[in-house]
Amino acid sequence: MKIFGRCSYKGTNYYGWQKQVDYLSVQATIEEALSKVYNSKIDIVGSGRTDAGTHALKQCFHYVCEREKDLNLLTYSLNKMLPDDIKIISLEVVDDNFHARYSAKRKVYEYHIVLDGKDPFAYEFSYVFPMDFDFVLFKEALLYFKGEHNFQNFTSKEEDEDNFIRTIYMIDVDKTDNLIKVTFEGNGFMRYQIRNMVGSAMSVASKKEEMSFIKNRLDNFQERNIVSYKAPSCGLYLVDVMY
């Protein structure tokens, strides 16, 4: 039997989603709780990784089990067992052919920026940015990333993995008072891609770089020249996974 789950978490205290030796991860924490309930080892497969300190409003996963359980009761039990910064939203039975990662069609992320010299209530959930910032330039720079592009200079992914072509269907930039929310919807995002895109756009908005900095590195099929502007993980949220 294959079970599909949705969860949310505050990523501050975790070394990312994926389990790693000697580091606390969201995946390992959920697996430990599931294994106790089923009284057998349960391995879960996520829709993708999130970085250390990155948050999720809706991360998705699946696992295989042999015994049928009341999934509403199981959801309740898991939430009693899990720490306060992880919540199981729902569990449901799915077809055996379903895969949390490979069946995903689109993903939605948000990046939050607070324009302030210092904000003790925002630093775990946003990039608190103290420098001068041109919002119009920031938005213009980000919109260069919309569409199908080669993002090899905006990811740390190794060259011998999949190709670097990704499609970003939507980029929305909203500013309310001193809070900026950037929403990305695409067919997939590579390691550090969003953080590098946001960081590069911020380098333009703060007048460290010209707009040509982004133009020259996007769709550049020559020798890799990965950007060095990476926005911190605390401002990044996985919002939704679409199947």
Give the residue numbers annotated as catalytic, written as ranges: 51
Angle made by CA atoms 120, 56, 152, in degrees to the nearest 5: 100
Q: Which residues are bridge partners to 167 per DSSP? A: 148
Residues 128 and 119: beta-carbon distance below 8 Å:
yes
Residues 67 and 74: beta-carbon distance below 8 Å:
no
Nearest CA to 177 among 232, 112, 108, 110? 112
Which residues have a Cβ under 8 Å from the Cβ of 136 and sit 6 or more positions away?
none
Q: Other C-beta atoms within 10 Å of 212: how many?
A: 9
